[in-house]
Amino acid sequence: MPPRPDGPAAPAPARPRVPRFTVAEHRVHRATATLMAVCVLSAGCLYLPFLAELVGRRALMVTVHEWSGILLPVPLLLGLGSRALRADLTRLNRYGPHDRQWLRAVLRRRGGRPAGKFNAGQKLYAAWIAGAVLVMLGTGLLMWFTVPQALGFARAGGTPIAPLVWRTGATFVHDWLALAVVLVIAGHVWKAFGDPESRRGLRTGSVDAQWARREHPLWDHENNTP
């Protein structure tokens, strides 16, 4: 018979991890995600009859929706004080031949998928959602606020308003873009749930080194590039 161990088995050595996100980046992401969730849920209470009946207090939901939308860019603007966040924004806005290769591999469902700290899909998502938020903010403000009296549009009593065609167009763009945003965010959340290590990296700030080499093989090269 093999000898019995004298004590408890030694714990398995921890797998090496590499830093991925800072506390500031985590907080910016969490605050932005929270505001986006509030914005989407309050919009649902305004547009979906069963939610409107369940929640009631439409005026409150309108106020919550308006202010959550206006505050949406604020976490990112405050986070620009973080050097790490600014560096990651630069990475998100920098495309190379490996990004085209990544997209081709995804479309063909075969081939290697080279990526730096962020892959091409994450870069496209970040660019799309940033543009969508700006358009949503602009159309929302046009629907909410009035235009200057100098433009010559005024209702009885002298209160300046935007012309009806502007407000109609803004409402059309705002509503349909909101639907697209919900679908894109749903896809983003679905992909995140399929990659627990990616979620862990955002939550804890570090990721498994083996995962980093497999999913983002050009990350080290990107860090060493001036």
pLDDT(147) > 60: no
State how far the alpha carbon of 111 is from the alpha carbons of 98, 102, 122, 131, in Å: 12, 8, 18, 30
pLDDT(145) > 90: no
Instruction: Tell me the pLDDT tens digit for each residue of 71-98.
Output: 999 999 999 999 999 999 999 999 999 9
What's the CA gap between 143 and 170, in Å, rounded? Answer: 7
State how far the alpha carbon of 112 is from the alpha carbons of 73, 117, 184, 198, in Å: 35, 16, 25, 19
- pLDDT class for 12, splitting at 50, 70, 90? low
- pLDDT class for 128, splitting at 50, 70, 90? very high
Q: Which pLDDT belongs to residue 149?
A: 42
- pLDDT class for 156, splitting at 50, 70, 90? very low
Residues sharing a CB contact under 8 Å with residue 146, sequence separation 6 or more, in sequence order: 159, 160, 161, 162
Stretch 164-175: mean pLDDT: 85
What's the CA gap between 215 and 194, in Å, rounded? Answer: 13
pLDDT(154) > 80: no
Give the 3-state secondary structure of residue 53.
helix
Q: Which pLDDT belongs to residue 155?
A: 46
Instruction: Tell me the pLDDT tens digit for each residue of 131-144.
Output: 999 999 999 888 87
67 versus 6: the higher-pLDDT residue is 67
Phi, psi (deg, nearest 5) at residue 23: -60, -40
Please give the mean pLDDT across all residues of the chain: 85
> For the chain, where are the alpha helices, taking DSSP H only?
23-47, 49-55, 58-71, 74-79, 83-92, 97-108, 120-144, 164-193, 196-204, 209-215, 219-224
Instruction: Tell me the pLDDT tens digit for each residue of 40-50.
Output: 999 988 887 77
- pLDDT class for 4, splitting at 50, 70, 90? low
State how far the alpha carbon of 55 is from the alpha carbons of 39, 42, 144, in Å: 15, 10, 22
